[in-house]
């Protein structure tokens, strides 16, 4: 923090005050000067110091912000301190018995308000969404959770300011108009779902809503429709939400919400995107109708999937049984062919042994190693007999073929 922000608001010159309020939002500058944002706005009105209109910082983030209103040359001597905050600087007045009427700024000096970024104070009554005093209890818990997390992080951030080497979670920003608009849209959708006979099972502050119909959970998402600006927003201009780390840092809010059914359904996943001509409140009937219809669709789809799974398992069991039987048959066939080979080989060996016996008579019995010629012939006959597939008859042959 620089030296000028350590002074009180009344100690600053008009030029210093003007530079501060166009550098950062009022609700950030005010606490540094010892007052809150609304009181700082009243002080600016009193001292004839123009400040950014509602929606300025969001439009600055997407490169559509108007030029800052010039600082008037003369300071106002007297002005009604209870005058409401306006979108433009009040007209200079002088002390007089009668208060003169305000002079309107020229058309080119007026700041148009973008319809894509609703201001909560202006749209809460006419955009068809729940007012803040009528939010769904689960959505009210989001705001309480945000305040609790801010309170929990405050001591850690005070410690970090005294120790530059420490680290931890950064200070959680205040909820922005875009965050609050999404909260009200989610609340309105929850009320509409309950009116249609559904139940709100679970909600997440970052946009996930889980509804229950007919014993089935339908998960929906209500989030910002993001866009990629030509110039990447930086600093305060990028703080359109209190949760920037939950979005792609290269994207920024388009100023519209996107709703989508995240539960896997047959066919395409339904989604709805609001526009300047069709705000979110007009999308809610179609969302509710689709969510209600999704439960029986999901039940029917699950039934068909279960039938397909059962048919696949039965077919797989049948294929497995066929493979098993074929393996058994192939093994038996291999044994049968082996028996035929052994029988053919035995015939050849029997003829060979007969020839050897015929040659034994003229040559006589001789010692060959540890055995005589006659003993070697007996050994050959025994081994040849082992190849006989008919040693136990025809039935014995097929018993050997079909053995496990």
Query: pLDDT tens digit string along 34-77?
Result: 888 888 888 888 888 899 988 888 888 777 788 888 888 755 44
How many other CB atoms are there within 10 angstroms of residue 217's CB atom? 14
Q: What's the order of all strands across the beta sheet hosting 252-261?
A: 199-203, 208-213, 216-227, 252-261, 271-273
Q: Which residues of 250-284 are buried (b: 16+ CB within 10 A; e: fewer)?
A: eebbbbbbbbbbebebeeeebebebeeeebbbebb
The percent of the chain in helix, strand and coil, each rounded to the nearest 5, is 50, 10, 40
* Nearest CA-CA partner of 253 in 182, 178, 195: 178
Per DSSP bridges, beta strands 208-213 and 367-368 are: unpaired
pLDDT of residue 163: 62
Q: How sure is the predictor about 161, in pLDDT bands with cuts at 50, 70 and 90? A: low
Angle between helix 373-385 and 280-363 (nearest 10): 150
Query: Is the predicted pLDDT of residue 197 greater than 90, yes or no?
Result: yes
Contact 363, 369 (CB under 8 A): no
| DSSP structure class, residue 263 | S
Q: Which residue has the higher pLDDT, 157 or 168?
A: 157
pLDDT of residue 150: 83
361-385: per-residue pLDDT in tens?
A: 888 888 999 999 999 999 999 999 9
pLDDT of residue 332: 95
* Nearest CA-CA partner of 135 in 149, 120, 115: 120
> What whole-number distance in Å separates Cα of residue 37 and Cα of residue 50?
14
Whether the model clears a pTM of 0.85, i.e. scores above it, the answer is: no
pLDDT of residue 96: 39
> What whole-number distance in Å separates Cα of residue 221 and Cα of residue 224?
10
- The residue ranges of every structural domain in the chain are 1-81, 132-306, 322-402
Q: Which residue has the higher pLDDT, 290 or 228?
A: 290
Contact 95, 60 (CB under 8 A): no
Max CA pair span of the chain: 161
pLDDT of residue 128: 87
Q: Which residue has the higher pLDDT, 308 or 109?
A: 308
84-142: per-residue pLDDT in tens?
A: 444 444 444 433 344 333 333 333 333 333 333 344 444 444 678 999 899 999 999 99
pLDDT of residue 61: 76
- Tell the residue number behind the tokens 């040359």, with chain if given: 73
230 phi, psi to nearest 5 deg: -65, -45
């Amino acid at each position: 923090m620089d030296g000028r922000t350590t002074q009180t608001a009344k100690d600053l010159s008009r030029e210093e005050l003007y530079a501060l309020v166009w550098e950062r939002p009022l609700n950030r500058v005010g606490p540094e000067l010892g007052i809150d944002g609304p009181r700082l706005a009243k002080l600016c009105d009193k001292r004839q110091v123009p400040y950014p209109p509602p929606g300025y910082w969001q439009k600055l983030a997407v490169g559509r912000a108007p030029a800052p209103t010039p600082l008037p040359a003369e300071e106002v001597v007297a002005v009604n301190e209870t005058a409401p905050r306006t979108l433009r600087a009040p007209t200079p007045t002088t002390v007089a018995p009668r208060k003169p009427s305000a002079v309107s700024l020229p058309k080119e000096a007026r700041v148009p308000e973008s319809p894509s970024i609703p201001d909560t104070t202006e749209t809460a009554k006419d955009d068809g969404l729940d007012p803040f005093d009528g939010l769904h209890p689960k959505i009210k818990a989001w705001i309480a959770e945000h305040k609790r997390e801010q309170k929990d992080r405050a001591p850690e951030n005070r410690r970090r300011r005294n120790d530059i080497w420490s680290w931890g979670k950064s200070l959680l920003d205040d909820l922005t108009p875009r965050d609050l608009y999404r909260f009200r849209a989610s609340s309105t959708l929850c009320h509409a779902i309950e009116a249609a006979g559904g139940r709100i099972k679970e909600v997440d502050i970052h946009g996930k809503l889980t509804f229950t119909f007919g014993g089935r959970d339908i998960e929906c998402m209500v989030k910002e429709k993001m866009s990629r600006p030509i110039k990447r927003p930086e600093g305060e201009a990028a703080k359109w939400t209190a949760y920037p780390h939950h979005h792609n840092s290269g994207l920024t809010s388009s100023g519209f919400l996107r709703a989508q059914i995240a539960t896997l359904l047959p066919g395409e996943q339904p989604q709805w995107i609001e526009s300047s001509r069709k705000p979110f409140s007009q999308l809610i009937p179609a969302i509710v109708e689709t969510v209600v219809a999704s439960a029986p669709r999901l039940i029917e789809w699950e039934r068909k999937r279960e039938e397909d799974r059962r048919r696949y398992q039965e077919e797989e069991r049948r294929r497995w049984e066929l493979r098993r039987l074929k393996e058994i048959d192939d093994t038996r066939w291999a044994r049968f062919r082996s028996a035929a080979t052994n029988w053919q080989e035995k015939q050849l060996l029997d003829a060979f042994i007969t020839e050897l016996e015929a040659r034994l008579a003229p040559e006589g019995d001789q010692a060959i190693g540890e055995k005589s010629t006659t003993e070697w012939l007996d050994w050959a006959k025994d081994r040849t007999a082992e190849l006989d597939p008919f040693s136990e008859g025809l039935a014995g042959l097929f018993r050997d073929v079909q053995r496990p």
